[in-house]
């Protein structure tokens, strides 16, 4: 299903478009696209298809798709659900490579069979389809308006470096409105609807190689082929492109039904959050946050990634300064101290009782001129990359400041710096024209200081260094599909253990590996042995072992009376080290993920875990380990021994590769994996391997 | 310093006001208050004090404070810093009970001695002072305008149930602007400035008993006498009043310098968050959040606290519906399912392919009439307390909907329900007049759905049930100021242990209490023994004990060569149970707090702790324990024994009371406190008691 990236060029920049089902009535939905193409100067050829007309508004109209001339790149199908399949079939016959269907009445309306028919036609003819149930697409640079969006009645967005791809048509349309209000430039706008064929990630793949695109913003409710997200995001980051995702549906579904700890902990929100971090994409929670960030990227361009790019703040309220510092701390944005030159300059401008520090509080002690001088000083400070001004009519006639602000931003840009403007209260709002002037002059204008701080912080994250590329694991060869086989192939070192059928066998094995030992009930029907009293640890001698055998047998008989009991496992006891859990599960959206975290009894109690999409390299695994709260226990904190973290990472990496390729395994728990003191490696005590059909211990 | 609540009545509703330093020039700051008092109809007597004038704008002007007639309740001092002390002194002489000083140039400007002089005058004469360095106060119901706020040039806020108290004058002023923009009613507005005498909490105490006040909102940068917050908040909650706090300065200062775990973990943000929850106050992070919440409280009134008060949502976008559900889940607001009647009604109004569920997605399938019918159905659903409508010009002429919306809200209110309105995009904004119409009709209007959800969720929290009152601990009697004395008085059960000077003494004691034992170095100079290799656990017999003695002695000699060694502690080893930490520390703002959390080596690694301000009752302590991530380990999760949580709570409660009254103790760690199986109690293994001058183990 993966397409060559270049292959969507003719969809987004078609040389000729056919509008199938076009209407001459501009008031009707089916009348709009032709009008838009004319109004916004599409330079290619346009044809209409409708048996009722010979021409529509000067455009040649043919009765059927079969009557179209050669060379059509894109067919926009405005026909209702029942007519889509025949029209698409006709496109295929005519060799038209791309089609868009806006009709509703498919999977979203409980008619998946109609949608599957479209997929079959696409496969048969090699036609690529956008939709159905979508609003179409837009390419302002080329005047391509393959959409019925009402917003085009108002205006066409200006060309710019942002590609927006949304599954929801209504939200796509509303974002288009907001983009026009804020004058945010667009390279393309696409509503993917039901994604019968082309999905959001196909467009991501395209825009990675589109030189006009610098930022890719997505609104998704559920990714199709989500396992492609990580490699695509890695490529986007390597190309220096920001990938921004607003995701709906963060609630944690389907956790409880899982047999493994890993499955239970793998809530969709948590996995997404971790994979977003791994992939270097910026996950966004609300429409406002998305708009603020794309506005910041549009107006300021991408962040330099320069560590010295700090925020300088000028307010008339010390209290607000502290609130802004709080917001900056929350969002991880630096508010640096000033150098001596800046401090001296400010001191000369402010009364002696005012403290001179970042954020600067001028109170009501400056007129417009003095305020401007303060701003220029802060902007010139070597540690300041962006200056934030909080304007208020309490202090200044800030409308009179607008021309100066535009100049200030101009000068700033020449030095690779920026200016952001916001307002103290809801009374302090700019007229629309003034705001546009400032935006056009390259100032970021947002309604509150907290939103400026959040947008700047996300802009920095969008420019964070790309993760190193990771080789995908080699496909698995035909192999024995047992838990033991899987663990052996993954090279997971297990503690010595033996299945014993009698206390005598247990005593013999314990004598061989040495006391103390652990005794555990062996049953295919008991996933969590502790819960049925099926485990005894620290058995120091023969007497303790015999006693424990009896106790476990009694407890299991009572608490799991119907379980098949195969005997008991006797295991050498590893007492030095820290217990981790390593697991694998299949996220319904993102595919196979590795989980690592605090293990043993702590696994589900602490929920101190991190997820990685696959493939994941050793560097990413080590980084995920460092994010765990229990990480200090691995590195010799509080007088403890330093542990063999390298060995643990190596085991996790082998498990990650094995879990990626051995797709017959659906869930996996290694719990605990004991990380032993440096030089002694890491060893697994228990493992659970779950397949869709059965549990294999 | 505590004042009788009733004693601020004459400050906020004075019968006569003197404006000291008044100017006839209305353009000057000192000219404004007299003008405002006239303009807004203050009914009491007004006098001016200024040697230059005989009258100002018809108001009698006397040369000095001494010349004022009797019966003045409030003197508004408009004189600069140097003139405040003499003026205040004169007020005291004349028996004027209240004064406000707006002058800057005191502690905030590095001149604390000037401010201390004011405090001395207040104490001497019993005058109560607001400020200095403040903007004054406002009481719209009485026309009291003891302020120079520029916002009064525009308008006086309407009387309402909200009291706003801010330390920052500029933010107070900007909030006043915003309140007027949103037409939020105010009972009082006070800027407390430097709080030389009266502080924010004095006003909280007043408003608890003010029948005109329903919501108390604070902006604070640092509480004075913060230990009063908890008892005052408890009283406010008991009176059914909402207490809302926007706090600046959430960064964690002064953690590293602490000797105890508790001190290190007691970051200001964390303590505040926990105490806010304990006190039942709503902590707010940004100005927008504060405005949204007070608007919701103003327009909708307090939340009913009724569990069935769910949110019904109507949008034209399924994707937006999912985003709103996500926001509701994040904020803990219920989006209930509809009953059959609602579902049937909606099904009749929407095309068959649309799913009928909350949030409702009408897509573009309803005209204004159909949309209104859908809204009425959702609002009538028994599980829905508030209906959220997301309006957009994509679907409807929503300006035409305004009169219907006002009616809808009217009908809703009659049934104890509410309507909130927001917009899909930035293009979809109401004209100011329409917005005012809707606000006046009792609809909540906010710029985004996420903000509606957040405000409604906080409104519910503001109405949460009050915590039960807690008796303060009895003051301590003169007592032996040693760690052992403190622990004995607090009734903390300790495991049997003995200080042994030789291995032979250790062997003898171990023989008495039974093996295994724990061996720990005893030194007044070593706070954290594990870090110097000073602890050995699980010593099973005499040989192990002797070996451990040698190992510890060697390690300590190497890692803490200058420590005084008193010998070694031999301790019976408790092996059954879960380790907690219980501590005490003094928060610089909120005073004495109890900390409880995961103990042993986990204390600082997991930071799984909760704080409580004192006094804290057993119910609050048990509730804080339930918030710990490790809580399941106490209640018999995963097949473990149920532990003696009641005993642990009892120990913590006694410790809380002892720590509250024995103020010579500055920091306290009981770590670990082992909670043993049910019936066996809880026992402390180690304790650290820190006083300002010395450590006492």
How much is the pLDDT for B691?
A: 86
Q: Tell me the average pLDDT of chain A.
A: 89
Q: Is the pLDDT of residue A466 over 80?
A: no
Rounded CA-CA distance B492/A505 in Å is 48
**pLDDT value at position B264?**
67
Phi-psi category of A54—alpha, beta or left, where left has phi over 0 and alpha has psi -120 to 50? alpha
Whether the model clears a pTM of 0.90, i.e. scores above it, the answer is no
pLDDT in tens, A330-342: 998 989 999 999 9
Angle between helices B449-462 and B287-300 (to 10 degrees): 70
> With the CA atoms of B435, B440, B444 and B447 taken in that order, what torsion angle do they form, in degrees rounded to the nearest 10?
20
User: Is B101 within 8 Å of B134 (Cβ atoms)?
Assistant: yes
Q: Is B458 helix (H, G, I), strand (E, B) or coil?
A: helix
B251 near A CB under 8 A = yes
Smallest Cβ–Cβ distance between B249 and the set A246, A326, A640 belongs to A326
Q: For position A158, what pLDDT does the model report?
A: 94
Sorted by sequence, the CB contacts under 8 Å of residue B411 that are 6+ apart come out as none
Q: Report DSSP state, residue B641.
A: P
**C-alpha dihedral over B380, B382, B385, B390, to 10 degrees?**
-50
| B629–A contact, CB cutoff 8 A | yes
**Confidence (pLDDT) at A695:** 40
- If pLDDT is split at 50, 70 and 90, which confidence band does A142 have? very high
Read off the pLDDT of each residue in A93-109 and give the average, rounded to a whole number: 93
B531 lies within 8 A of chain A by CB:
yes
Strands (E), B510-577: 517-522, 535-539, 567-572
The mean per-residue pLDDT over the stretch A220-242 comes to 90
pLDDT beyond 70 at A256: no
Give the distance from CA B586 to its chain's centroid: 17
Residue B541 to residue B533: CA distance in whole angstroms: 20
Which pLDDT does position A592 carry in this prediction? Answer: 93
Determine the average pLDDT of the residues in A56-81. Answer: 96
Give me the pLDDT at residue B143, please. Answer: 95
pLDDT per position as a tens digit, A565-582: 999 999 998 878 899 999
Judge whether residue A259 has pLDDT over 80.
no
Whether residue B357 lies within 8 A of chain A, CB to CB, comes out as: no
Provide the pLDDT for residue B22: 96
Neighbour-count burial of B29, counting CB atoms closer than 10 A to its CB (0-12 exposed, 13-18 middle, 19+ buried): middle
Task: Select the residue of B354, B629, B638 nearest A601 (Cβ to Cβ).
Answer: B638
Query: Which residues between 140 and 159 in chain B have a beta carbon less than 8 angstroms from any beta carbon of chain A?
Result: 150
Query: Do A294 and A284 form a contact (C-beta atoms < 8 A)?
Result: no
User: Is A107 an interface residue toward B (CB < 8 Å)?
Assistant: no
Percent of chain B topping pLDDT 70: 93
Q: Tell me the residue length of chain A.
A: 697
Residue numbers in chain B where pLDDT is lower than 50: 1-6, 253-256, 694-697
Judged by CB atoms closer than 8 Å, whether chains meet at A168 and B329 is answered as no
Strand ranges (E), B232-376:
242-247, 282-284, 310-315, 360-361
Distance from CA of B471 to the nearest CA of A (A): 34
Beta-carbon neighbour count of residue B62 at 10 Å? 19
Write out chain B residues lying below 8 Å of A319, CB-based.
Answer: 166-168, 170-171, 219, 221, 248
* CA separation for the pair B580, B406 (Å, rounded): 56
**Worst-scoring range by mean pLDDT, A88-92, A547-551, B305-309, B312-316?**
B305-309
- A316–B contact, CB cutoff 8 A: yes
pLDDT at position B255 is 42
Q: Quote the pLDDT of residue A3.
A: 42
In sequence order, the 6+-apart residues with CB closer than 8 A to the CB of B171 are: A317, A319, A320, A424, B219, B287
Residue among A503, A484, A610 at smallest CA distance from A552: A503
Q: What is the dihedral of CA A652, A658, A663, A666, to 10 degrees?
A: -30
The percent helix, strand, coil of chain B (3-state, each to 5) is 40, 20, 35
Higher pLDDT, A528 or B25: B25
* pLDDT value at residue A437: 87
How far from the centroid of its chain's Cα atoms is residue A385's Cα? 27
- Note whether B639 contacts A325, CB cutoff 8 Å: no
CA distances from residue B211 to B214, B239, B514 in whole angstroms, order as listed:
8, 10, 66
Mean pLDDT of A2-14: 75
Q: What is the pLDDT of residues A661-694, one digit of tens each?
A: 999 999 999 999 999 999 999 999 888 898 875 4
Contacts of B320 in chain A (CB under 8 A): 168, 170-171, 248, 287
Nearest residue of A to residue B606, measured between CA atoms: A629
Interface test with A, best of B107, B152, B319 (most A CBs within 10 A): B319
β strands within B549-652, DSSP E:
567-572, 578-587, 591-598, 609-613
| A330 touching chain B per CB within 8 A | yes
Per CB-CB distance under 8 Å, the chain A contacts of B177 are: 394, 424-428
Closest CB to B394: pick one of A150, A447, A629.
Answer: A150
CB pairs under 8 A between A and B: 224
Residue A355 pLDDT grade (very low, low, confident, very high; cuts 50, 70, 90) = confident
C-alpha closest to that of B485 among B691, B680, B646, B261: B691
Place of tokens 């002072």: B129
Residue A213 belongs to what H/E stretch?
none
Residue B271: CA count within 13 A, CB half-sphere: 32
Q: Is the Cβ pair A528, B638 closer than 8 Å? A: yes
Q: Do A174 and B318 touch (CB under 8 A)?
A: no
pLDDT, one tens digit per residue, over A19-42 is 999 999 988 889 999 999 999 999
Distance CA A295, CA A285 (A): 16
Q: Given CB atoms, is B250 within the 8 Å cutoff of chain A?
A: yes
pLDDT of res. A526:
87
- The DSSP symbol for B630 reads T
Provide, as residue numbers in chain B, all residues whose Cβ is less than 8 Å from the Cβ of A425.
174-175, 177-178, 181
Q: Is A181 on the interface with B (CB under 8 A)?
A: yes
Q: Which of residues 460-479 of B touch A (CB under 8 A)?
A: none
Chain A residues whose beta carbon lies within 8 Å of the beta carbon of residue B363: 104, 170
Asked whether the beta carbons of residue A323 and residue B286 sit closer than 8 angstroms, the reply is yes
Taking alpha carbons only, the member of B626, B606, B524, B619 closest to residue B566 is B524
């Amino acid at each position: 299903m993966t397409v060559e990236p270049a292959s969507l060029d003719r969809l987004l920049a078609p040389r000729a478009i056919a509008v199938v089902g076009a209407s001459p009535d501009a008031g009707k939905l089916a009348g709009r696209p032709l009008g838009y193409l004319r109004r916004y100067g599409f330079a290619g050829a346009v044809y209409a298809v409708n048996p009722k007309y010979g021409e529509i508004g000067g455009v040649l109209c043919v009765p059927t798709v079969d009557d179209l001339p050669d060379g059509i790149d894109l067919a926009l199908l405005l026909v209702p659900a029942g007519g889509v399949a025949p029209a698409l079939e006709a496109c295929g016959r005519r060799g038209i490579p791309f089609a868009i269907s806006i009709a509703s009445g498919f999977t979203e309306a409980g008619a998946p069979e109609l949608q599957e028919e479209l997929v079959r036609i696409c496969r048969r003819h090699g036609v690529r389809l956008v939709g159905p149930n979508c609003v179409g697409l837009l390419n302002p640079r080329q005047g391509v308006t393959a959409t019925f969006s009402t917003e085009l009645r108002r205006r066409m967005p200006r060309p710019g470096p942002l590609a927006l791809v949304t599954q929801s048509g209504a939200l796509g349309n509303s974002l288009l409105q907001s983009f026009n209000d804020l004058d945010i430039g667009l390279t393309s706008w696409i509503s993917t609807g039901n994604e019968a064929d082309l999905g959001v990630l196909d467009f991501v793949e395209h825009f990675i190689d589109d030189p006009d695109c610098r930022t890719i913003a997505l609104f998704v409710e559920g990714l199709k082929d989500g396992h492609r997200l990580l490699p695509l995001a890695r490529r986007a980051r390597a190309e220096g492109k920001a990938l921004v995702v607003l995701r709906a549906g963060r609630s944690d579904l389907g956790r409880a039904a899982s047999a493994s700890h890993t499955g239970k902990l793998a809530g969709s929100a948590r996995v997404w959050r971790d994979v977003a971090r791994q992939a270097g994409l910026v996950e966004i929670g609300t429409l406002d946050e998305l708009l603020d960030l794309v506005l910041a990227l549009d107006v300021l361009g991408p962040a330099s990634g320069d560590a010295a790019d700090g925020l300088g703040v000028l307010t008339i309220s010390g209290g607000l300064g502290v609130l802004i510092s709080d917001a900056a701390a929350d969002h991880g944005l630096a508010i640096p101290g000033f150098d001596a030159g800046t401090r001296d300059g400010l001191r000369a401008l402010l009364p002696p009782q005012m403290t001179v520090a970042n954020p600067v509080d001028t109170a009501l002690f400056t007129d417009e001129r003095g305020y401007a001088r303060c701003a220029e000083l802060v902007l010139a400070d070597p540690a300041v990359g962006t200056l934030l001004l909080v304007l208020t009519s309490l202090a200044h006639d800030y409308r009179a400041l607008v021309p100066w602000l535009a100049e200030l931003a101009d000068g700033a840009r020449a030095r690779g710096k920026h200016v952001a403007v916001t307002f103290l209260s809801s009374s302090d709002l700019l007229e629309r024209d003034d705001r546009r002037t400032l935006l056009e002059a390259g100032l970021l204008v947002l309604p509150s200081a907290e939103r400026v701080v959040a947008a700047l912080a996300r802009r920095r994250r969008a420019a964070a260094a790309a993760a190193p590329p990771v080789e995908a694991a080699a496909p698995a060869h035909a192999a024995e599909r047992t838990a033991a086989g899987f663990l052996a192939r993954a090279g997971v070192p297990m503690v010595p253990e033996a299945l014993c059928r009698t206390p005598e066998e247990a005593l013999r094995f314990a004598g061989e590996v040495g006391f103390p030992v652990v005794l555990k009930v062996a049953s295919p029907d008991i996933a969590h042995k502790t819960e049925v009293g099926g485990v005894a640890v620290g058995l120091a001698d023969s007497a303790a072992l015999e006693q424990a055998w009896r106790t476990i047998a009694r407890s299991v008989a009572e608490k799991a009376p119907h379980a098949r009991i195969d005997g008991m496992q006797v295991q050498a006891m590893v007492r030095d080290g820290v217990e981790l859990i390593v697991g694998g599960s299949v996220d319904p959206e993102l595919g196979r993920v590795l989980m690592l975290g605090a293990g043993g009894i702590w696994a589900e109690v602490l929920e101190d875990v991190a997820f990685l999409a696959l493939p994941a390299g050793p560097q990413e695994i080590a980084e995920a380990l460092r994010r765990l709260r229990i990480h200090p226990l691995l590195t010799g904190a509080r007088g403890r021994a330093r542990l063999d973290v390298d060995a643990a990472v190596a085991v996790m990496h082998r498990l990650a590769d094995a879990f990626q390729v051995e797709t017959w395994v659906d869930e996996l728990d290694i719990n605990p994996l004991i990380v032993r003191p440096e030089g002694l490696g890491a060893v697994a005590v228990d493992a659970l391997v779950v397949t869709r059909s059965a549990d294999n211990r």
